Every structure is written in structure tokens, then in C-alpha cells.
Chains A and B, each alone.
Chain A
Amino acid sequence: MTLLDDAKSDTSSPSPSSNTPGKKKRQSPLAVFREMPILVKLSALWVLLIVVGSIYGKIDVLLDDVLPLQDPILQTNAFNPDTLEFGTGTPSENPSLTHWLGTDSIARDGFARIVHGSWVSLIVALVSATFGIVVGGFLGSLVGFVRGKTETIIMSLIDVILAFPALVLLLAMVSIFEVRNLYVISLVIGFLSIPAYTRVARANSLAISNREFVLAAQAIGTKPSKILFREIIPNVYQSLLSYALVAAAFVIVVEGTLSFLGLSVQLPTPTWGNMINEARSNINLTVWPVVWPSLALTFTVLSFNQIGDFFQKRNAVRGSAL
């Protein structure tokens, strides 16, 4: 084995049989998927399902209900002015073939609402991760590299934000805005996730700044700004990406909490959080409208955590092997 490795890698004897070096490409997503343990595989499939479902739902909304999915706001038992008849749906229905996940207390289709609600969760997760990685990642990498006064000032600000009870700050910021649509909510949550990312990025940046390749880059006359962008940030981002998956799970719960308190996206737009909140009062009539969004939330958070852990471990192994 060692002999074989030597023959492959030793400089003096390029054996023609060895694979052409340099042609090895990044592992394909499918290969990574095969590497996953079964639980992580299921998680990945679930997240994929949620992503596809939410996009499907969004397209449905944008194209005015052309896709075969019920309107999540339509009360199926309501009076229809076109046909001058009441709908055939009933409130608080149990799961059936027409309504896969039953209906809620005003006869809206549970399945449609779950699918549409996932869009909110995903967008919030995505925006906060983007904000965190881009802004927090940059700030953290910067202060970990330049140190000194810049670090003291920026990190003090970050610590002040972190020291504040997160939910209180969130409620305060949300209440500032008159319109509470998805974008406002995502931006606020995104802004509030910057500090955590900054800390993670700073810790990594501190470690990487002391690595020899940074000194080596300096020793060949690389500008500090270039060292930051070329040497430090690409290394920091690796670990930030796996952190983002874990953080996304947390952010989805935060949005759920906000909706549960009625402070997220305005009704009647369905989100998992406000679905639980609405159905809660009728829990003695039917339990399903509470169960489904709760399960969706739980599975999604669990899946994000599983995938995040998987990538964190995977990167850690690679890091030590470098």
C-alpha cells in the first residue's frame, strides 16, 4: 500500500499507470450522499422534499393556482359567489384522500398550508444564513486577522448584541416595522444572526492567521487585503458553511416562535408557527392541525442539525488530514 502510494506521489517516478494527477475533481453531490449514514440520508431527502415543496407552492401562488395544489387560504366550505353554492368541505376534518392532512377549524386544506408554510421557513433560514455568512463571516475574518483596536471595537459591539436577550431584541425590532412581510422578518432575523457568525468566523480566523501559509504569503509580498480575501476567508468559510446548517435549524424555530406569538408574517399567509397557534385553540376538536406543522418543524430542524453535524465532522476530518 505504502509502496503504491509512493509510486503514485513520488516526484521522481511518474508512473504512467497512475491516474493523471490534477484531473481529480470535487466530489459530486451524489458521491457525498452515498457517504452519509442512513439518518443523514433521510434528513437530506426530507430537506430536499421541503425545498421542492416550498418552491412548488411558491410557483403555484405566483401562477394563480394553476398547479394541482389547493389554495391554502381557501375555506373549502365557504360560499362561492360564482356558483352561488357553499363549498363541500367540512371544518376539522380528519385526514382523507381529498384532504391528505385533514382540514383546520375553518376548513382549509392542511396539506396545502404545510407546503406553502415551508416557504417562509426556508426563506428565513436562507436569508439569515446569507447575512450571517457574508456580513458576519467577513467581520469575523477581518478582526481575527488584523486584531488590535478594530477587533476590540467590533467585538464589543457584537458582544453587546449577543448579551441582549435575543427574543426580546427580536420582538422589539419586529414591532418597529409597520408591515410585517416575509422580507422584513427575514432581514431582522438575518441581522440578528450576524453576531453568532462573527464569533465563529473570528475564532477560525484567529487560528488560520497563525498558520504558516499566511506568513508564507506575507513573505512573498502579498498585500494584507489579499491575504484576508485569498488566504483567510476561503478557509474560514468552510467551517461557516457547516455552522450555517446548524444555525438554520435554530432560525427556523425562531421564526416559528415569532409566528406563534403572532409577530411574524401577517395572516392569512400560512407559516408553520402561526398554523400551530391558530389550531391550538381548537385542539379539543381535532388534534391534527397542531400535529402536522409541529412534525414538519421538528423534522426540518432535526434534518438541518443532522446534515450540519455530518458536514462539520466531515470537514474536521479533512482539516486534520491537510
Chain B
Amino acid sequence: MPTAGADATRLTRSEKTEPLLVVEDLKTYFQTPNGLVKAVDGVTLSVERGKTLGVVGESGSGKTVLSRSIMRLNTAGNVITHGSVTYNGEDLLAKSPRQMRDIWGVEMAMVFQDPMTSLNPVVKVGRQMTEHIRHHLGVSKKDARDTAVELLRSVRIPEPEARFDNYPHEMSGGMRQRVCIAIALACGPKMLFADEPTTALDVTVQHQILNLLGQQQVDRFMTMIMVTHDLGVVAGRTDEIAVMYAGKVVEKAPTKQLFADMRHPYTEALLRSIPKIDDPKHTKLSAISGRPPDLINPPSGCAFSPRCPYAQPQCFTDTPPLGAAPTPGHQYACWFPVGSPEGKDAWDKNLEAKRPQTMAAAGLVNATEELAAGAVVGG
């Protein structure tokens, strides 16, 4: 007994200092007939207890694969995973699927993107919850039911006793997502992955679901990784943001720092592409020109270079490392960062040379038209 007590204190001390999740140089490749798809290509990050990390990037940037790799949910036979994922001092990548089952649900859980497909259509939602509760916590049928009803109430589903006996198709999208959240929370996970939890929902419901997630996180002192393509979603709700592009983290900073002082051109472009409410009517949406890179044959040098308004010859040949910015906790991978004298020079030079990406970013031409005409410089 005394040893257990000593262990407990040691645990609390280490809990305070060490991050809950440490990901080091994680690589997830998919073998396909067309070649090796480098969906996640060397990601390093860490999340402290009770904090929220936002992972932002456009479709195909590897953010979903990243979260599934951390949770070891990429089970297809063609997946190759390298690197290390340390959760609470344990190496997750070394665990067998059987050992992972004790982690899934109890330690880590995930809320998926589409609540329409992430519930079993032929099983009542109540039973989907109680089976899971009974499996992990080994309680009686009645207790499991009570717990489930309580959970449904905590995710603010009205009349939870009645809803317990509903099939998923009898619920709206927002309600189903609430049920999904309730299921994910059922066994009190310490870490929650929210994989675009609001993308499939309409805007008013989005807000409710995000508030709910935030509330639950505070109530349960959970650590959360929120994956999204929408900077607006993570803006007020995360402690730190990692911006992903082509399977790599290109910029990472505390949320406020990132919005106040972004360094990577891709972050800037993402932010610029959010329509502003005080823009005049019929303002053209500022899209990022070009397409996400091919992950089988990524462009040499910086992966963003073909679309970057700041790109210089160096960018097409040398891959920039993820380096630290002067402010603590801020890292970025760029040779000509936004807001630096080098970046300013690069921008001016490109503007002079009429690089279409720069012209588009400066709002001088329509990016899509120019690029459709094939006038991609260095692309």
C-alpha cells in the first residue's frame, strides 16, 4: 500500500510536468498501385494535459490520417507507420491491437466527421452506448442504462429517456453528433480526438457542438486534439494550433500568437480565404491558387512553393526545416517567412515579376483564371 501511495504522488508530479501525448517524427505512408502516398511525413508535436491542440489544413493535408495514426486506427494492410507516439509514458506504436483495445474508449476516444455514418443504422442509440459502457466498465444492464441516459443528458439531448430507444435515423444530424460525443465520452477518456466534428453540420449546430465539446473538455479535464480545415473553428477554442500541409506541420504556435504573428505563407493564405463579414457584397472569395500537392510525388523543396506568393528559387530546391521563431512555442518552416524583411523582399520581387500567385494574393488578378490559363511560374 505505501508503495502505491508513493507511486501516486510520483505520477501526479510527472503529470504536471510531462505532456500527455508526445508524437515524434511520425510518418504514415500508404502503399498504393501508383506509388507510396506520404500522407503524414514526419510530424512532431506534443499536447499537455487539459490543453487543446488544433490541427488545421485543407483536404488531403494529412490531418485525419495523423489523428488516426496516433490512435492506431489505420488498420488497412497497406499502411506503413514510422516514428514514435508516446501517450502517458507508453509507446503506442509498440502495442498490439489487443493492448490498444484497453486504450481505445477508456484513454482515448474519437468523434468522427460525419454523424450520419458513424452510428450503426440498425441498432438503437441506447444500446450502442450501453454495450460499450458494459464492456469497459463491467456494470449491470440497469446501471449502464442510467449512465447512458445521464450522458445523453450531459450532451444536452432533450428527453434522454425517450431518445434512448431511438434509431439513429430518427434523429437530426446535430443530435446524432451529440450521441457520437456521448459515446466517445462514455468511459471517461483522458484524450479526445475530434476529427472535423462539425464539418457535416450546418452553421448554427456547429456552434452548439463546438461549445458542447469545449464544455465537456473543461468538465472532464480532457486533453483534446481538434482536427479541422476551418481556422475559424479553432480560433477561440484551442490553446495551440498546428498547421499542416502535405503531411508536414508547417507552422505551430499558441493560438493567439498564430493569429497575431503568423509566419508561414500557407497560414496567411488560409486565414485570408475566410470570408469577412464586413467585406462589401459580391467580394470575390480569396482562394488559395492551385491544388494541394500530389502526395506520391511531392514537389521538391517546400511543398507549398508552387502555390506560394513568396516563393523564391531556393524554395523550389531546399526543404525548409521547422525552426523556432523568436517567441517561445512558435515554430515555422519557411525560408521567407511572412512579416520578416526576407519575406517582404521576396513578395516585392515576385510582384515585380508578376508571379501569378503573388498577383492573386495581392488581389490584382483572379487567381483561378490565371492558373487555368497555365501561367504557373515554377509550378
Residues of A within 8 A of B (CB): 9-12, 14, 20-24, 147-148, 211-213, 215-223, 226, 230-231, 234-235, 238, 318-319, 321-322
Contact = CB atoms under 8 A, between A and B. Distances in A.
A21 B135 contact: no
A226 B122 CA distance: 15
Interface stretch (B100-108, B260-268, B321-329): B100-108
Interface residues of B, number: 52
Contact of B132 (A12, A21, A220): A220
A271 to B, nearest CB: 38
B208 A12 contact: yes
A162 to B, nearest CB: 26
A220 B170 contact: no
- Residue in A12, A216, A226 whose Cβ sees the most chain B Cβ within 10 Å: A216
A238 B131 CA distance: 21
Interface in B113-171: 113-114, 116-123, 131-132, 135-136, 156-159, 161-166, 168-171
A9 B110 CA distance: 25
Interface of B: 71, 73, 75, 77, 100-106, 109-110, 112-114, 116-123, 131-132, 135-136, 156-159, 161-166, 168-172, 174-175, 178, 180, 183-184, 186-187, 208
A10 B162 contact: no
B168 A322 contact: yes
Contacts of B165: 22-23
Contact of A14 (B103, B118, B158, B170): B158
B110 A217 contact: no
Given A212-B118, A221-B100, 17 more contacts: A11-B172, A11-B174, A12-B208, A14-B159, A21-B170, A22-B166, A22-B170, A23-B162, A148-B77, A219-B104, A219-B109, A220-B187, A221-B103, A221-B105, A221-B132, A221-B135, A230-B123
B104 A231 contact: no
A211 B121 CA distance: 11
A12 B157 CA distance: 8
Contact of A216 (B106, B112, B163, B174): B112
18 contacts: A9-B172, A11-B156, A11-B158, A14-B158, A21-B162, A22-B170, A212-B113, A215-B118, A216-B180, A216-B183, A220-B186, A222-B132, A223-B135, A226-B135, A234-B122, A235-B120, A235-B122, A322-B116
Contacts of B174: 10-11
A21 B167 CA distance: 10
Contacts, number: 117
Contacts of B187: 220-221
Contacts of A322: 116, 121, 168-169
A230 B123 CA distance: 8
Nearest to B104: A221
Given A10-B174, A219-B110, A220-B183, A212 B117 contact: yes
B162 A223 contact: no
A220 to B, nearest CB: 4
A180 B61 CA distance: 66
Contact of B178 (A11, A24, A213, A230): A11
Contacts of B114: 212
A23 B133 CA distance: 24
Given A212-B117, A219-B71, A21 B163 contact: yes
Contact of B120 (A213, A220, A223): A213
